[in-house]
Amino acid sequence: MRNHSKAFRHFMIMMITGILILTGSLFCSGTANAKEGDCGNTSDGKFWYEVITDPKGKTPGKVSISAEVSGGHFGNKIVYPNTIIGKNKKKYTVVEIDGMSVDENDYSNVEEKITEITIPKNCETISDYAFEDMNIKKVTFESGSKLKKIGEEAFSTKKTISTITIPKSVVSIGAGAFNAGVLKVNFEKGSKFKDISKMKKGSYWWVNEWWTADEIYNYRIISEPNGNNPGKAELIMYDPKSTKKIASYTIPNVITNPANKKYSVYSIGEDCFACDESISNITIPKNCVIIGENAFMSCELKKVIFEKGSCLKEIDEAAFYSCVNLKEIVIPKLVERIGVAAFAYSGLRKITFESGSKLKFIGGLAFDECDLGNVYLPNNNITFDTADLEMGSAFGTGNKTIYTANKATYQRMIKELQNEENYGNVDYKAVYTGPYKITYMIPKTVGSKTYNKVEQTNLRYNTQVTLNPSYDKNVYKGYSLKFTGTLTDSDGERYTVTYKYGQKVDPSGQGDVVLYVSAVPNTYQIRYNANGGIGSMNIQDGVVYNQYIELRQNNFMKSDSVFKCWNTKPDGTGTSYKEGQKVTKLTAESSITLYAIWEKRSIKIRFSAGEGQGTMQEATVKQGETLKLPKCTFTCPGKKFYRWQWIYTNPDDSHSFIVGTYEDEAEFSDTQNIYATASGYYEFLAVWSDASGYNLTLVPNGGTGTEKKIVLSADNLDDSKTAYEIFSTDFQKEGSSLIGFQFDKDETIYPVKTIQSWRLSKLYSYLRELYGANTEVRINAVWEQKTYTVVFDETDGEGYMDAVVFQCGETAKLPKCTYEKDGYQFIGWAEESDKNVVVYEDEAEILHNTEDGIALYAVWSPVTYRIVYNANGGYGSMKGETVTYGESIKLAASAYRRPGYTFHGWSTDKTGGKVYKDQATVKNLLSYEGTVTLYARWTENDVTITFNPNGGTVGRTSKVVGYGDTCGTLPTPVRDGYEFKGWFTSKSGKIQYTSSTVVDLEGSLTLYARWQAKKITVTLNAAGGKINGNKSKFSIDTGTGITGLPGAKKENYTFDGWWTDYTGGSKVTAGTTFAKDTQIYAHWKSKSTGKVNVRLTIRKYAGAEGCIIYYSKYSDFSNAKSVKIQSSKTSLSTMISGLENGTKYYFRARQYKVKNGKKKYGKFGSTISKKIP
């Protein structure tokens, strides 16, 4: 803030904090030039005269006179003479009336007794202010009056003159000549007054101030520029008839003058209610349009109410300045202007603007030093003074946050906050609450310096926004968007933010936001897929999209294939990559899978003639594929080609074995590729058979029937036939069934139907492998004893049991029942004839002689189970009960108790499961014989912890925790001069609670802060004196009373003790306590008077050259004393000394001007009282 703004603020402060502001009326008169000795009192002492000289210095025998009312010469009426006799016995003509004069030592207000005057016919001029503020009710002009001029405010009287007739000789009437004084003005017939025509419009510049009929308000009629009087008035002065306190007071919408003419209260004028101490709550009339400068300055107002429908448009400069008791105000919606310092240094803590407010301007320091908290300005373009202007910042200092939905208003505040020259002179916060937009500056390509603009508009304050502008995803494929911007906080400070795409943020509160977009390459992972192979490979993670990376070497294996390459598709139709290839930008997604592409292994088959001869071309087969073997072209004299043998020989030739055998032109499929020879071939060997065959003998083997003999040779093999006829016999055996045949050199039993289905070639091959050539073959019949089958039925149970087969005629044991049925127990098996009668117990023996099957049915019996009750942390006892499955039962009422908990039911689990209400009806709690435990379920009761700061302050006053839980986080209180030592259950201590203390009390708990006093320093300030002794500082504990205070000395003063402030404050005595480091001050009383000095300030009227201030301990001014002030300044100031402490004094003043060495005094102003501290 510039120096002149600081000076302005200082001036305003001094004007308010000065002890008194007084006014005093002034008698002014026209100028009369007189030589020394040409003035004095008439011989009867009634009048003071001054001889008038002309411009040439001659005295034509004319005088100006004023009535000396202090001598009691007139009663209530003054008749001014046409002539007087001067000190020189010379006769003079009275041509000018200069009102009245009062002796400076006359405190009686004798002039107020004068109610009637007569103006002599010789009088030509009534001087300016001649009868201002007097109680004149009647004015008479002598017949034949020569009066030409009536001066400014000449009859600006307090009492009303009902009618006045202006002599026809009058040609000039000064402004305000009849202010508040005349109801009706008549002009004598033949008047020469040139502006008489304006009377018809009801507007007279010579009558512009009035008193209301009740004499409470002095008001001014407001005229329009064209002279019209619209019936509006401005209140100039409030002059209550009593100084008693008034709880509530309403200013009228309409005032009435003594002639019963009514005026609408248009404005409350300058200083109208200033310094009023009587009104606590005031109501402003709805007709009022303007509240003028200083209108309510330094009032004791606690509440200001504006009538509904208020027309108020302007609150002028310092209107509510220093109204320290005013805490809250609602500004009417039509107010357009709030003037300079309008609410500065008031007690305002909250200001509200009515909906639809028209506010346009806020003046400098309007809310300076007001801790308004949150202020919500109307949504208007509001201009206001800032700290770099003469009047200073509108919002200035003090704790306040200004909210506005208007961008221009917000920008003005931010500009002021960001101006470094304003540091220390503004400390409010500014928040923008209107709609705003976010502009995204998106590079046209990755890394480009040219941008596309994308906007999100109509965004709302205090609402999260998803940052998701549209952009060309092809351009930014593989990249994520990052947003960077510079925002402004409520203090006007700039800060940088970084956001991600899709992030939800709230950048509101600062107007439009610009975010610059940059591309951040994504990372992805490469997954490797064996694609039919085996093995594992680690993921390549964190691959940066625009960087090169080397693909991994293949670690997968596939037995029938070799690795070929990597591919983005499993069928190899995608993009292929080599092992170890350097790649970049493989995918814009989060991951990509590369599939191993395999190529089948191939191997050659070499054919060997064995015992035969000839050659055959090699064949090639791919692993996993099928190949039709070529027809054997080898020959072997005397033998016939039988089959191929796939022979494998160890690489070291240590041994060989047959991998498999294949018929001529059979299909061959290689799946393992592990039986290649050392040279990498498959070896196929031709096998030859002799022409002679095998002698087969089939024997009944313990049964009856004819042995069967058959010869099978290679020559008679018909591959279209089967071995059915060979193995069809008449074999039988009592009690047994033929199930198959067994060759004497093979333990395998071949079922009848299986061996009957063999092709003869297969049988022949089997025999050749097993017996060789020309061997006798014995084939035995295989018998199996007859059986019966037992099947089991669960009879509404659950489970599965295989049927069992038992041999007929033999005793067998039934299997154990594995069926289950909820709530029932198995008691045995019943037969179909009666499914409820137990025939066989579980695992009983059974004997049956026929192959007829048997069906057995499970028989069930319901179980019983026991219910027991568990307190589950509570206490008490309850009996259990036994219940049959399928039976409904009402649970017993809970008899358990648990401190800090409320019972809410039973459940089969301590902490979970279904909860049954107390005394609920239940069924089938257990499906087997046993015991079911029902656990009492408890709801933890809440405990309210109240925090008593015990002399300090605490942000959080209470919290709720569950019974049995720990306290958790506890607040930390503060107290000036003390160190916090913890929370305890009483003010004096007892049990301490910490965050880990378990709360085991029911209902509520109060914890008290415990404090330990800090050491503080009390410094003594002698205030111009000298401390007795050398001790000027004391170190004491907070809260501990100070002792041993020394005295002090000061020349011509008596020491009045130690006090908390340089002037005023509280007295410090032994035992006084302090909360922080403190300085205390010596107070002094003058030895000569034992009294104090008070400075008085008086507003000076135009033309005044000084004043006399009267002061007394009594309201009637008995035993009054006075002081005189002479000054040419706009305000008069003086110091009154010797006033007694603690005494109430009354003050009033009257101003004067000096004319030819004589003081002309005006009327007393309002009386002001003040108690001297």
Q: Which residue has the higher pLDDT, 32 or 766?
A: 766
For range 108-113, the mean pLDDT: 77
**Mean pLDDT, the chain, whole residue set:** 84
Indicate the pLDDT class of residue 911, thresholds 50, 70 and 90: confident
Domain 523-600 identical in fold to domain 787-862? yes
Task: Work out the end-to-end distance of the chain between its first and last CA atoms, rounded to an integer number of angstroms.
Answer: 34
Q: Which residues contact 1086 (CB under 8 A, 6 or more apart)?
A: 1052, 1053, 1054, 1092
How far CA 880 is from CA of 739, 826, 870, 894, 912, in Å, comes to 64, 26, 10, 12, 22
The answer regarding whether domain 787-862 maps to CATH 1.10.3470 reads no
Mean pLDDT of 747-763: 89
Residues with Cβ within 8 Å of 655's Cβ and at least 6 positions away in sequence, in order, are 649
Given the structure tokens 């409470």, which residue do they identify? 216
The confidence score (pLDDT) of residue 33 equals 39
pLDDT tens track for 761-815: 788 888 877 877 557 899 999 988 888 899 999 998 899 999 999 888 788 999 9
If you average pLDDT over residues 812-835, what whole number do you get?
90
Can you name the CATH fold of 942-1013? Immunoglobulin-like (2.60.40)
Query: Rounded distance, CA 985 to CA 990, Å?
Result: 6
Looking at the chain, the whole-number percentage of residues with pLDDT higher than 70 is: 87
Average pLDDT over residues 40-49: 88
The CATH fold assigned to 31-207 is 3.80.10
DSSP H/E element including 934: strand 931-940
Inform me whether the pLDDT recorded for 857 exceeds 90.
Answer: yes
Determine the average pLDDT of the residues in 548-568.
Answer: 91
Instruction: Give the whole-angstrom CA distance, residue 371 versus residue 398.
Output: 5
The CATH topology of domain 246-429 is 3.80.10
CA distances to 342, 430, 768 from 366, rounded to whole Å, are 5, 16, 124
Q: Pick the residue with more confidence: 334 or 611?
A: 334
Give tens-digit pLDDT for 144-162.
Answer: 999 999 988 888 776 678 7
Q: Which residue has the higher pLDDT, 332 or 734?
A: 332
- Write the DSSP string, 849-904: -SS--EEEEEEEEE-EEEEEEE-TT-B-----EEEETT-EEEPPPP--B-TTEEEE
Structure tokens at 748: 């395998």
| Domain 436-521 architecture | Beta Barrel (2.40)
How many Å apart are CA 467 and CA 486, to the nearest integer?
16
pLDDT in tens, 920-935: 999 988 888 889 999 9
Reply yes or no on whether the pLDDT at 17 is more than 50.
no
Of the listed ranges 149-153, 711-715, 899-903, 925-929, the one predicted with least confidence: 711-715
- Say what the pTM is: 0.49
Query: pLDDT, tens digit, for every residue of 499-508?
Result: 999 999 999 9
Least confident residue range of 2-6, 730-734, 815-819, 1000-1004: 2-6
CATH class, range 523-600? mainly beta
1015-1086: CATH class:
mainly beta
Dihedrals φ, ψ of 764, to 5°?
-65, -45
832 versus 18: the higher-pLDDT residue is: 832
pLDDT at 190: 86
Domain range list for the chain: 31-207, 246-429, 436-521, 523-600, 602-689, 693-785, 787-862, 864-940, 942-1013, 1015-1086, 1092-1171
Between 58-72, 208-222, 802-816, 1085-1099, the lowest mean confidence (pLDDT) is in: 1085-1099
Query: In terms of DSSP H, where are the helices of 947-1032?
Result: none
- Amino acid identity of residue 913, one-letter, is G
**Residues contacting residue 840 through CB under 8 Å, at least 6 positions apart:** 814, 828, 829, 846, 856
DSSP strand E in 601-751: where?
Answer: 602-608, 619-622, 626-628, 640-649, 656-662, 667-669, 681-689, 693-699, 708-713, 736-743, 749-751
- 941 vs 329 pLDDT, higher one: 329
Would you state the pLDDT for residue 20? 42
How far apart CA 446 and CA 8 sit, in angstroms, is 58
Residues 77-88: what's their mean pLDDT?
Answer: 92
Whole-number pLDDT of residue 205 = 53
Could you tell me whether strands 373-376 and 400-404 are parallel, antiparallel, or unpaired per DSSP bridges?
Answer: parallel
How is domain 1092-1171 classified at the CATH fold level? Immunoglobulin-like (2.60.40)
Identify the burial level of 867 via C-beta atoms within 10 angstroms of its C-beta, where 0-12 means exposed, 13-18 middle and 19 or more buried.
Answer: buried
Note whether 1015 and 1037 are within 8 A (CB).
yes
SS (HEC) of 549-603: EECCCCCCECCCEEEEEEECCCCCCCCEECCCCEECCCCCCCEEEEEEEEEECEE
Closest of 580, 525, 592, 582 to residue 553, by C-alpha:
580
Decide if domain 864-940 falls under CATH 2.60.40.4270: yes
**For 1126, how many CA atoms within 13 A lie in the half-sphere containing its CB?**
3
Residues 407/432, Cβ–Cβ less than 8 Å: yes
Span of 255-269, 461-475, 1120-1134 with lowest mean pLDDT: 1120-1134
